[in-house]
Amino acid sequence: MTRTSVEESPSQLGRSDNRPLLAIKVALVGVIVVTLSAAGWRGVTQSDTRTEVASGPEPVLTSLASVTSPAVLGELPEATSQALVGGPVAQALVLRAEKLAREAEEKRLAEEKKRAIEAAILPERGIWNGTAPLPGSEVHDLMTMPMLQAEQAPVVALTFDDGPSKYTAEILAILKKEQVPATFFFLGMNVQERPADARMVADAGFPIGSHTMDHKDLKTLTPAAAEAQLANSTKVIDDLLGAGTVQCARAPYGSFNDDTLRAAKKQGLGLVGWDVDTEDWKVRDSGRILARATVPGKRQLILAHDGGGERRATVEALPAIIAHYKAQGARFVELCTGKAPGKS
């Protein structure tokens, strides 16, 4: 056997050894190709599917008119289309309209009332209607009273404010004992608290006027509020003692203006002032009260109090005041008696 037939050359041995490796590489390449091809096909298929979905038929838009058409609304439950929508809206509109109408009417009435008060022509100051001021007038002395113009003797009018109180009965007893008339101006709130004392004065025949409901300064109030002070107190007194009891009023502190007088005129009342102030509202000495009450003068309209605070000094001074004027031959008169024209 020759050498060449038994042994192969190095190059032939290398080619023989590389064949299995080459076969494996070829196989791997084939697997990769097949895998990539399959993946690519699926991607193309999914892409085509998405494209087909995206490019499918466009949605149909329904117009607002077709949605709100009677045919469509008729298919809705009644509770949804009417009760839940129409009912509350309609009710709200009705309530709003009623509120506006009510506010308009209230404003109209307020303006009408204001015009009526403003249009009221006031009488001159010091105009009497018998023994009471003419409604809307104000008197503060007795010199202008027509019934006294021919009177020669001194004339005295005793008046008492702020009652009734626990002192009213004592003052009333002194007046009755001395057979001297007087006029009482009661607060409405006190009449409510002490109706028996108010009846006692009325039953004794003494005239009673209004001193407002709760002693507010009428000059500081609106015309409507001032009118309410006079109207409410008058009603309280008249309801208790009889219609027409109140014929006149006295402003707390003597404070009033033309608006107050117009309000009083609407109530058929005039205002009674004074020209002699005993100042028993600030002093607690009967001697000083007597001195203040007995100043010189032929016609005296005297202010004192039977309520509104401690009035023991007033009770003690009253007999001496009466004795002083009786010694001068004075005649005592009462104010605001009888029924004013037009009052029931």
How far is residue 315's CA from residue 286's CA, in Å, rounded to a whole number?
8
Longest dimension (CA), the chain: 194
Catalytic residue among 197, 215, 305, 306: 305
Catalytic residue among 17, 161, 203, 259: 161
Residues contacting residue 257 through CB under 8 Å, at least 6 positions apart: 218, 219
In this structure, the strands spanning 132-133 and 128-129 are: antiparallel
Active site residue 203: no
How far is residue 12's CA from residue 225's CA, in Å, rounded to a whole number?
135
Task: Yes or no: say if 292 and 277 are a contact pair by the CB < 8 Å rule.
Answer: yes
Work out the number of other CB atoms within 10 angstroms of the CB of residue 51: 10
Task: Yes or no: say if 117 and 257 are a contact pair by the CB < 8 Å rule.
Answer: no
Radius of gyration of the chain (CA): 53
Active site residue 305: yes
Residues in a beta bridge with 185: 161, 209
- CA distances to 132, 138, 158, 303 from 126, rounded to whole Å, are 10, 5, 18, 17
Task: Yes or no: say if 304 and 128 are a contact pair by the CB < 8 Å rule.
Answer: no
Q: What residues are labeled active site?
A: 161, 305
